[in-house]
A = this chain, B = another copy of it.
Amino acid sequence: MAVREAGAGRGVSHVHAAHDHPADPAAGARWSDHAERVLREAGLRTGGGRSAVIGVFAAEDCVLAAQDIVDRLRASGGPGANLATVYRTLDTLRDHDLVHRLDPGDGTARYERAQPGGEHHHHVLFADGTIEPFHDDALEQAIEALAGRLGVDLVGHDIVLHAAPRSA
């Protein structure tokens, strides 16, 4: 997974790669607990397929296509989930703001888990297909200010930067 630290960001406090740790187990477990609680409180039941999908998101902190999720489950040997179930689960998770959907423009949607606190980040899409997340407070502030100037009531925003492959 080509999620690495943005080198030039070092020392610039408010810029940082959003996932500095390839897969922070603690964050994953926290998210998965949160997700299961939210769904339970919504009156939904615990099923094998959905749990498996949640498990994938808990373990893999990166953008995943629906088919990727099926593949990881199959590869892990454990209980799998049908592609239809995966899509249904993604819908459910999205309804409860537990995952975000990302449209890189290649015709295949990607999903990634949402942070409980409303924290969010954006993505740099490199020419070679690599996707790297980032967060930048200055950018967020610019968006806020812009919304005010436009006079619209913002409920969210998606930003995708397109970049040439890293020379480094």
Contact = CB atoms under 8 A, between A and B. Distances in A.
B167 A162 contact: no
A152 B10 CA distance: 12
Contacts of A105: 101, 103, 109, 158
Contact of A150 (B12, B150, B151): B12
A155 B150 contact: no
A139 B138 CA distance: 10
Interface stretch (A20-28, A45-53, A61-69, A140-148): A140-148
Contact of A152 (B138, B146, B151, B163): B163
A160 B136 CA distance: 16
Per assembly, the copies of the chain total 2
A134 interface: yes
A42 interface: no
A96 B166 CA distance: 24
Contact of A151 (B8, B153, B154): B8
A161 interface: yes
Interface in A1-46: 6-10, 12-13, 15
A6 B147 CA distance: 10
6 A-B pairs with the lowest CB-CB distances in the bound complex, closest first: A8-B151, A142-B142, A156-B162, A152-B163, A153-B164, A103-B103
